[in-house]
């Protein structure tokens, strides 16, 4: 859904080299909206538009362009112009972007950057994907603790253009150890006392994260405390960066997106559904479909063991899918609940006994209800059965649901204990175990209950 509203005008201005008109277009709207209107342009056209405006607006609009367009621009632009742009970009965004640009172009851009910027890029790009270090930015406002309110405000105003946020100002000692935090709000509120030292204002008890912390942990900390940003320190308490509210929102969206795909048994997509080529889609689905297929294959092997039983009492076949799916559904529910509990830190693997106790009670309750429903279904579908015969299905349903809840709740706890990602591993294993268990339970109950299979309990 590309917005083509202004495309003809922009192209006309490009053709007539109307720099003033282009600059007006770039500065009239919020950068994000300007970028939206430029999505229909080729990378070369978009870059030509951006060159018509000042460096600040150029970076602003550029960072809102779709990633592929950004990559294309950097790969085709003049290296000097590209490096000027990179020098002005937010420190975290440019590191992510340069990872996508082909090496040849990066090699021609990097040497043209000021040494300090180049070092910063190298430092930031060392952090492994998914850690606080990989999400943080290094362009925060940083001041010594010896300043007064007036000096601090002047210094912040002076540095303002270089920083992603000036609303939290970090106070460091001479060796860059984090000492405290002053908010722009505190400075503004103390405008009337310009000679007050910021060390008297600053908050000293700061919550920090370490650069090696998991990005999910960081996101939930910021979310819990309603911070605008959280400082990142290294193992020696040096201030190395900050993670801002918008990065936290990105992390939360990314993680939610990933979970949603995995819950649907699809490897997370990097692009949108429509932009992903069909063979990538087929691959991202095929992996999981095959794993689940192999798990389901075992049901054929399990049923094979009961071929004679099924040949003798053919009506048993009718309820196989019902029995299997009931176990699977109740198991999936338990897995979902326990995974949410683990994610929200409400549960730890050590709680397994408490969890099992809860699940058995819930399973008994749900299983009894489904068993009742199941009894009526059997009565309707296969009305000529005796009560004892018809009871095979409800007894199986109750057992399968309890089995599903126990296995479904223990599997994620086990995977978490083994250090595996429970969200990823639990589902195929659960399917495999529950499907087979469902068949074995069903057939065992049938053999035990039915006279014609050599079993038969009660009055027979």
Q: Is 111 in the site for its own copies (CB under 8 A)?
A: no
CA distances from 416 to 259, 342, 349, 402, 426 (A): 16, 8, 7, 22, 10
| Block residue for tokens 């912390």 | 213
Region from 4-12, 115-123, 159-167, 410-418 binding its own copies, contact rule CB under 8 A: 159-167
228: contact with its own copies by CB under 8 A: yes
Q: Name the one range near its own copies by CB under 8 A: 38-46, 107-115, 245-253, 440-448.
A: 245-253
Quickly list H helices, 101-131.
103-109, 115-125
177 scored as a contact of its own copies (CB under 8 A): no
CA angle in degrees (0–180, nearest 5) for 74-76-82 = 40
189 contributes a contact to its own copies by CB under 8 A? yes
In the list 118, 134, 250, 375, the residue contacting its own copies (rule: CB under 8 A) is 250
Per CB under 8 A, 48 contacts its own copies? no
- Residue 83 or 405 having the CB closest to its own copies: 405
The least CB distance from residue 261 to its own copies, in Å, is 6
Name the nearest CA neighbour of 119 among 232, 240, 244.
240
* Phi then psi dihedrals of residue 171, to 5 deg: -105, 125
Identify the burial level of 12 via C-beta atoms within 10 angstroms of its C-beta, where 0-12 means exposed, 13-18 middle and 19 or more buried.
exposed
Question: What angle (nearest 5°) sits at the alpha carbon of residue 87, between those of residues 85 and 93?
Answer: 85
Applying CB under 8 A, which part among 37-45, 331-339, 412-420, 444-452 lies near its own copies?
331-339
Kindly tell me which residue out of 223, 356, 425, 440 binds its own copies, with binding defined by CB under 8 A. Answer: 223
Place of tokens 């018809």: 390
CA-CA distance, 314 to 453, in Å (whole number)? 12
| Residue 156 binds to its own copies (criterion: CB under 8 A) | yes
43 binds its own copies, rule: CB under 8 A: no
Nearer to its own copies, 377 or 395 (CB): 377
337 lies in the binding site for its own copies (CB under 8 A): yes
Q: C-beta of 222: minimal distance to its own copies in Å?
A: 8
The site that binds its own copies (CB under 8 A) totals a number of residues, namely 119
Chain positions 12 to 41 lying near its own copies, rule: CB under 8 A, are 28-30, 32-33
At closest approach, how far in Å is the CB of 102 from its own copies? 26
Q: Which is nearer to its own copies, 84 or 254 (CB)?
A: 254
Q: Using the rule CB under 8 A, give the single segment among 9-17, 42-50, 103-111, 199-207 that binds its own copies.
A: 199-207
Quote the CA–CA distance of 319 and 377 in Å, as a whole number: 10
**Minimum distance of its own copies from residue 356's CB (angstroms):** 13
> Is residue 4 within the footprint of its own copies (CB under 8 A)?
no
- Cβ(365)–Cβ(460) under 8 Å? no
What number of H helices and E strands is found in the chain? 23, 6
Spatial separation of the C-alpha atoms in residues 295 and 426, rounded to whole Å:
12
Among 99, 253, 379, 417, binds its own copies (CB under 8 A): 253
Q: Which is nearer to its own copies, 166 or 197 (CB)?
A: 166
Length of the chain: 460
Subset of residues 416 to 445 that bind its own copies, contact rule: CB under 8 A: 431, 435, 439
Residues 352-411, interacting with its own copies (CB under 8 A): 354, 358, 361-362, 365-366, 369-370, 373-374, 377, 381-382
| Interface with its own copies, residue 325, by CB under 8 A | yes
Joined tokens for residue 35: 């970028």
Scanning residues 114 to 153, which ones bind its own copies (CB under 8 A)?
153
DSSP assignments along 241-289, one per residue: EEEEHHHHHHHHHHHHHHHHHHHTT-PPPSS-TTTS-HHHHHHHHHHHH
DSSP letter assigned to residue 18: -
Of positions 72, 213, 255, 422, contacts its own copies by CB under 8 A: 255
Task: Give the DSSP letter string of 131-172.
Answer: BHHHH-BS-EEEEETT-BHHHHHHHHHHHGGG-SEEEEEEEE
Give the nearest distance from C-beta 129 to its own copies in angstroms: 20
Asked whether position 78 contacts its own copies by CB under 8 A, the answer is: no
Q: Which of 162, 246, 451, 452 binds its own copies (CB under 8 A)?
A: 246
Task: Of 403, 408, 405, give the one whose Cα is nearest residue 427.
Answer: 408
List residues bridging with 408 in a β-sheet.
none
d(CA 332, CA 434): 10
Q: Please, which of residues 281-320 interact with its own copies by CB under 8 A?
A: 281-282, 285-286, 288-290, 292-293, 296-297, 299-301, 303-304, 307, 310-311, 314-315, 317-320
Q: Are strands 165-172 and 140-144 parallel, antiparallel or unpaired?
A: parallel
Closest CB to its own copies among 126 and 160? Answer: 160
| Cβ closest to its own copies, residue 72 vs residue 435 | 435
């Amino acid at each position: 859904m590309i917005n083509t509203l202004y495309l003809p005008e922009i192209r006309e201005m490009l053709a007539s080299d109307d720099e003033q008109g282009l600059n007006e277009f770039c500065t009239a709207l919020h950068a994000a909206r300007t970028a939206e209107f430029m999505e229909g342009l080729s990378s070369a056209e978009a870059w030509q538009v951006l060159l018509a405006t000042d460096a600040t607006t150029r970076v602003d609009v550029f960072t809102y362009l779709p990633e592929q367009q950004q990559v294309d621009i950097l790969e085709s632009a003049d290296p000097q112009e590209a490096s000027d742009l990179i020098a002005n970009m937010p420190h975290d965004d440019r590191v992510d972007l340069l990872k996508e640009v082909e090496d040849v172009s990066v090699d021609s851009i990097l040497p043209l950057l000021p040494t300090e910027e180049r070092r910063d890029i190298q430092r930031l790009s060392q952090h492994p994907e998914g850690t606080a270090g990989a999400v943080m930015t290094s362009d925060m406002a940083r001041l010594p603790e010896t300043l007064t309110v007036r000096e601090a405000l002047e210094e912040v105003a002076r540095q303002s253009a270089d920083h992603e946020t000036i609303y939290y100002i970090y106070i460091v000692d001479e060796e860059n150890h984090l000492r405290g935090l002053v908010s722009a709000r505190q400075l503004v509120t103390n405008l009337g006392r310009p000679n007050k030292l910021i060390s008297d204002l600053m908050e000293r008890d700061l919550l920090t994260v370490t650069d090696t912390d998991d990005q999910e942990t960081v996101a939930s900390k910021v979310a819990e405390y309603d911070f605008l940003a959280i400082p990142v320190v290294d193992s020696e308490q040096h201030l190395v960066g900050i993670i801002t509210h918008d990065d936290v929102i990105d992390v939360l969206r990314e993680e939610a997106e990933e979970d949603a795909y995995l819950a649907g048994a699809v490897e997370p997509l990097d692009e949108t559904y429509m932009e992903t080529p069909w063979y990538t889609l087929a691959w991202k689905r095929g992996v999981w479909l095959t794993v689940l297929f192999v798990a389901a294959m075992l049901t054929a092997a399990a049923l094979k063991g009961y071929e004679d039983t099924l040949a003798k009492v053919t009506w048993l076949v009718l309820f196989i899918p019902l029995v299997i799916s009931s176990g699977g559904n109740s198991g999936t529910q338990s897995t979902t609940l326990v995974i949410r509990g683990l994610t929200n830190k409400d549960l730890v693997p050590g709680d397994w006994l408490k969890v099992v106790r809860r699940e058995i009670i819930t399973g008994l309750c749900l299983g009894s209800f489904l068993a009742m429903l199941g009894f009526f279904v059997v009565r309707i579908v296969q009305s000529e059965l005796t009560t004892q015969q018809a009871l095979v299905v409800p007894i199986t349903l109750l057992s399968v649901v309890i089995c599903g809840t126990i296995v479904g709740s223990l599997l994620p706890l086990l995977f978490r204990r083994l250090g595996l990602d429970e969200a990823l591993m639990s589902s195929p294993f659960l399917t495999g175990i529950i499907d087979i268990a469902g068949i074995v339970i069903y057939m065992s109950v049938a053999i035990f209950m039915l006279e014609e299979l050599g079993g038969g309990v009660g009055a027979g």
